[in-house]
Amino acid sequence: MSDDNVSVEDDRLMRWNGWGDPAKAKDLPLAVRTLLPLLLGRIRKPEPAAALDEVRVLPSRATADDLAAFAAAVGEENVLIDAEARIRHAGGRSTPDLLRRRAVEQATPDAVLRPATHDEVRACLDVAMERGLAVIPFGGGTSVVGALDPEPGGRHAVVSLDLQRLTGLLRLDEFSGEAVLAAGTTGPDAESLLGARGFELGHYPQSFRYATIGGFAAARSSGQNSAGNGRFDTMVTGLRVATPTGDLELGRSPGSAAGPDLVRVFLGSEGIFGVITEVRVRVHPVPRARLFESWTFPDFRSGADGMRRVAQSAGGPTVIRLSDESETAVSLAQVGRIGKALAKGASVITVYEGDDIAERRSRTSALLSAAGGVSAGEGAAEDWLEGRFDGPYLRDALLDAGVFCETLETATTWSQLAALKAAVEEALKSGFADAGAKSYVMCHVSHVYPTGASLYFTVLAGIRSEPLPVWETVKARVNDAILASGGTISHHHAVGRDHAPWLAQEIGDTGVRILAAIKRELDPRGIMNPGAVISVERTR
Amino acid sequence: MSDDNVSVEDDRLMRWNGWGDPAKAKDLPLAVRTLLPLLLGRIRKPEPAAALDEVRVLPSRATADDLAAFAAAVGEENVLIDAEARIRHAGGRSTPDLLRRRAVEQATPDAVLRPATHDEVRACLDVAMERGLAVIPFGGGTSVVGALDPEPGGRHAVVSLDLQRLTGLLRLDEFSGEAVLAAGTTGPDAESLLGARGFELGHYPQSFRYATIGGFAAARSSGQNSAGNGRFDTMVTGLRVATPTGDLELGRSPGSAAGPDLVRVFLGSEGIFGVITEVRVRVHPVPRARLFESWTFPDFRSGADGMRRVAQSAGGPTVIRLSDESETAVSLAQVGRIGKALAKGASVITVYEGDDIAERRSRTSALLSAAGGVSAGEGAAEDWLEGRFDGPYLRDALLDAGVFCETLETATTWSQLAALKAAVEEALKSGFADAGAKSYVMCHVSHVYPTGASLYFTVLAGIRSEPLPVWETVKARVNDAILASGGTISHHHAVGRDHAPWLAQEIGDTGVRILAAIKRELDPRGIMNPGAVISVERTR
């Protein structure tokens, strides 16, 4: 079996130890290879990564009786215990995940289950409850926060519950603009099914090509079109959920005062309370037209002020993104053009889709001009659209070249944005410097609200020792800086296991008690995704 | 003390046994008096209501030690046990509440507390926890769902925690468009404080003049400007909460994926988990301009289709309301004009505030015309704005005349809207008919979303026996019909005690278990608003 093989049985599987379609993997462009030593000094070439058939996994701890019970629930062919299936479900796609995938010894789940219906999910949970196995719900496998680590949480074994067969457009109410999608449906499949009926969901996070509708809901995703279509939270009108102790059908109307909105208990729950099996979402007719415009600002601060003016007015763009000076300089926003020209200032990309796009562009242009922006034509924005899902391929090439590359994100109010950005940059730069590593930090704003915005950082570093321990130290320092500066521990990547200690700081002890109480009620044996969002200890 | 006296010490106090400012109370207009017998047959004049000084309340069950402990928390002058204070906190402003206020014997809380700060609220809860008294948080006293009933829930006494002194604009971040308001601040006070700085919250439910910011949050309110400004849920960016076992500061950024949104656990919690003491909200500059336009449609169905087209497009009106044929016929939308002309068809009112109002009106007009609407000029919409908070005064006059009058509301998707409306109307009409009462049912749509809308019903009935038992039977039939037809048990009135049994049907047993688990964790002695939202039995 080749290193980069993709199972022919399932074309959704991405490269097992990297991102996406192996056929799209690329070497670093010459311009980047020229630029890197200037930014990061001499780079140490890493040890070669282990090939898939070199990886050693421990024997499955699931007993024969466990496996037989699961086989009764989903069919024998949907209970996988082979090494490849287990390795492919061993984690997500954070940089630490990918670094761990390079090793010969890897921790994996003990089995992979593939239920095809809500009732089969229900049956899997019943077996797991009765027999006491931990369950890690698995959608597209694109978590970058450790939400898929095979943590048994004190149980004798852990199974990955892969929703890849739980797919499809279950209902479409064209009149109301509402669709019900099975949770395992991927972004492209959802858009294809809806598009055939003239509708669009319009949710395009960078993980779009692989991530699933259920994952978008469970992780509170936000997509590149959030300025126009809202974050995924706001698209969801209902959920069907299987928990270890009962099912839920939530969301009866677009607005309600029928007690606290329980849909919101499961948005962001990351599988710790149960498994989202169906998602009801707002959809809209496929946009008939699209306009692009890119802008150049003197600096990040003026660009951010332009973004704020747009976000605080109605009828703006569908996509709006601001790259800071560092990101603009290497044109990271347009993966295909990286390093082609060292641009100055801070660039903004706008895309308009749907109705009244000329009016909306005109209104937005006036606001951006007033903030000091100068129109730079359509080209850069079109290039961005072309390459917008390709960033992770670049990371793979960088990691292969020995360059550490990771992203992280947060959000805050407009008035705290510059200070939060400076604090995160300082934590990153000083953290790497203390480890003797040169680093290059870039930032963009890609999700805006009337009251504030997100900050998305990409960091490159030339780490001369083992990168994982260095990154753990630096990331902890960044998380501390985020909380100290009023930011949220995550704007759209979620909590997983990586952010759990900082979530406890963000929501406080009483907040953790609320989550733990819900979990104890729905999942009294603590089988669901142990250690994600809140620590295992808090849920006992 | 006169029947209609209002304490000069507190001009927020409304008529103790009716709505609003006693000076604004009116007799029924002649046109209405003429119309009523035609609609409802001969009306039985009710027994005269008891005057305030005729009402008998039971001796306070709070012990001297209880009262001393509360006095230590908030000052002796803010622990009230006189009959008037207790009667004024005996309930909300539903029609059953007002009918109960007419009686000589009334159930009331045993004391009224008036904390002025978060820390005083905290201290009150500490005393109540230690001594085991039930606590009913009290804002403007405008609940119409029994959220303020003095239910002790098995405790020896019950106190009303009135937030009338917990007021003010605590912070305003003009750059981010975000304000922090103390929970007891009324709608008019909030707008006045913000308006002095050039900002508006823009939340105008019918209870606006008396209801409080904390009440809007606790009950998931929606205001008349919801088409433009969103329901209150969507305005809230953060909360400060005191619970019996700990405090929370929730909401760090306008968007987050830091676990489930715990703000949403408290929006709609109606005081069962704790007391909201501060609310962080999105605000916007005071609109510089306003446009009105009213429309006439052939019927409700075509009008609703026009509303749908508008709601599914961006850049529409700030206010949009559709009255059905029955409501249009008596011009109930314009209280001052009721009965002046028996109009035909279904009328729509639109109001545009903010930027680009001419463009927005033009876009909306095209959509409404395409659905069969004909513009009817500005007058009716302006009249509506003038009288928009006055509906409850009319109800008082009707009740005094012996006409039963109550409102109720729900919401669903656009495709289910007509069927839900018909089901509720049938339940109301047949319910009253079975009790030998003629009724007149009117409906409007006043909150729209891309995927659906609310339905707001006003019913008049000529009940010849005791009205309360009749209404309880009819309302139960309506609630059953709402759930059977896919509606929510409340779009913006909330749950209180009146809707609690139906909420359990709406969210299911697992949903109730989630709420009960949160309550047990935060309020282990069950002191907070016992019986509201979920039954007392479920929280033990």
Give residue-wise pLDDT tens across range A436-460: 999 999 999 999 999 999 999 999 9
Question: From the list B219, B252, B507, which residue is nearest A506 (CB)?
Answer: B252
8-state DSSP, B47:
P
| A258–B490 C-beta distance less than 8 A | yes
The Cα-based distances of A49 to A102, A148, A399, B469, B501 in angstroms read 4, 21, 10, 77, 60
In angstroms, the separation between the Cα of residue B126 and the nearest Cα of chain A is: 15
8-state DSSP, B329:
H
| B415–A173 C-beta distance less than 8 A | yes
Q: List per-residue pLDDT tens for chain B, 540 residues long.
A: 333 333 334 556 789 999 998 888 888 888 888 888 888 998 888 888 999 999 999 999 999 999 999 999 999 999 999 999 999 999 999 999 999 999 999 999 999 999 999 999 999 999 999 999 999 999 999 999 999 999 999 999 999 999 999 999 999 999 999 999 999 999 999 999 999 999 999 999 999 999 999 999 999 999 999 999 999 999 999 999 999 999 999 999 999 999 999 999 999 999 999 999 999 999 999 999 999 999 999 999 999 999 999 999 988 999 999 999 999 988 754 555 554 555 789 999 999 999 899 999 999 999 999 999 999 998 888 888 888 888 888 899 999 999 999 999 999 999 999 999 999 999 999 999 999 999 999 999 999 999 999 999 999 999 999 999 999 999 999 999 999 999 999 999 999 999 999 999 999 999 999 999 999 999 999 999 999 999 999 987
**Of B346, B400, B428, which is closest to residue B32 (Cα–Cα)?**
B400
Range of lowest pLDDT (A56-65, A344-353, B152-161, B385-394): B385-394
Among chain A residues, the shortest Cα distance to B484 is held by A252
What are the beta bridge partners of residue A36? Answer: none
Question: From the list B248, B258, B452, which residue is nearest A488 (CB)?
Answer: B258
Contacts of B415 in chain A (CB under 8 A): 173, 175-176
Question: From the list B220, B255, B270, which residue is nearest A449 (CB)?
Answer: B255
Reduced to 3 states, what is the DSSP secondary structure of residue A383? helix
CA dihedral B93, B95, B98, B103 (to 10 degrees): -150
| A308–B489 C-beta distance less than 8 A | no
What are the beta bridge partners of residue A323? Answer: A444
In angstroms, the separation between the Cα of residue B45 and the nearest Cα of chain A is: 35
> First-to-last CA distance in chain A?
43
ipTM of the complex: 0.96
Identify the band that residue A43 occupies on the pLDDT scale cut at 50, 70 and 90.
Answer: confident
Give the pLDDT confidence score for residue A341 in this predicted structure.
53
What is the spatial distance between Cα A347 and Cα A319, in angstroms, rounded to a whole number? 14
Tokens matching residue B91: 């309930």
| A220–B254 C-beta distance less than 8 A | no
What are the beta bridge partners of residue A255? Answer: none
Number of separate helices (H) and strands (E) present in chain A: 18, 19
Decide: B487 and B410 in contact? Cβ < 8 Å: yes
What is the spatial distance between Cα A451 and Cα A305, in angstroms, rounded to a whole number? 12
In angstroms, the separation between the Cα of residue A157 and the nearest Cα of chain B is: 25
pTM over 0.80: yes
In angstroms, the separation between the Cα of residue B165 and the nearest Cα of chain A is: 26
In angstroms, the separation between the Cα of residue B294 and the nearest Cα of chain A is: 23
Give the pLDDT confidence score for residue A332 in this predicted structure.
55
What is the spatial distance between Cα A45 and Cα A22, in angstroms, rounded to a whole number? 21
How far is Cα of residue A295 from the mean position of the Cα atoms in its chain? Answer: 27
Among chain B residues, the shortest Cα distance to A280 is held by B451
Tokens matching residue B70: 């509360």
**Of B485, B322, B342, which is closest to residue B412 (Cα–Cα)?**
B485
Tokens matching residue A490: 């995550």
Question: From the list B233, B415, B506, which residue is nearest A258 (CB)?
Answer: B506
The Cα-based distances of B133 to A77, A187, A239, B178, B429 in angstroms read 59, 52, 38, 36, 42
Identify the band that residue A3 occupies on the pLDDT scale cut at 50, 70 and 90.
Answer: very low
- For A26, residues 6+ apart whose C-beta sits below 8 A from its C-beta are A393, A394, A397
Return the number of CB contacts < 8 Å for A and B: 296
* Section A130-150 average pLDDT: 97
* Section A312-326 average pLDDT: 95
Identify the band that residue A28 occupies on the pLDDT scale cut at 50, 70 and 90.
Answer: confident
Identify the band that residue A540 occupies on the pLDDT scale cut at 50, 70 and 90.
Answer: confident
What is the spatial distance between Cα B97 and Cα B111, in angstroms, rounded to a whole number? 19
Contacts of B125 in chain A (CB under 8 A): none
Identify the band that residue A14 occupies on the pLDDT scale cut at 50, 70 and 90.
Answer: confident
Question: From the list B220, B260, B355, which residue is nearest A314 (CB)?
Answer: B355
CA dihedral B374, B376, B380, B381 (to 10 degrees): 60
Question: From the list A252, A355, A451, which residue is nearest B282 (CB)?
Answer: A451
How far is Cα of residue B143 from the mean position of the Cα atoms in its chain? Answer: 5
- Rounded to the nearest 5 degrees, what angle is found at the Cα of B40, between the Cα atoms of B34 and B43? 80
Range A322-344 burial, b when 16+ CB lie within 10 A, else e: bbbbbbbbbbbbbbebbbeeebe
**Of B101, B72, B98, which is closest to residue B86 (Cα–Cα)?**
B101
In angstroms, the separation between the Cα of residue A491 and the nearest Cα of chain B is: 4
Among chain B residues, the shortest Cα distance to A454 is held by B255
Question: From the list B243, B250, B258, which residue is nearest A489 (CB)?
Answer: B258
In angstroms, the separation between the Cα of residue B249 and the nearest Cα of chain A is: 7
Decide: A61 and A110 in contact? Cβ < 8 Å: yes
Max CA separation in chain A (angstroms): 69
- Rounded to the nearest 5 degrees, what angle is found at the Cα of B46, between the Cα atoms of B45 and B50? 140
Tokens 């099914």 map to which residue?
A193
| A265–B264 C-beta distance less than 8 A | yes
| A253–B176 C-beta distance less than 8 A | no
| B517–A255 C-beta distance less than 8 A | no
Tokens 């598009």 map to which residue?
A195
What is the spatial distance between Cα A129 and Cα A315, in angstroms, rounded to a whole number? 49
Query: What's the sign of the alpha-carbon dihedral B136, B142, B145, B150?
Result: positive
Decide: A114 and A138 in contact? Cβ < 8 Å: no
Decide: B364 and B317 in contact? Cβ < 8 Å: yes
| B252–A261 C-beta distance less than 8 A | no
Give the pLDDT confidence score for residue A30 in this predicted structure.
82
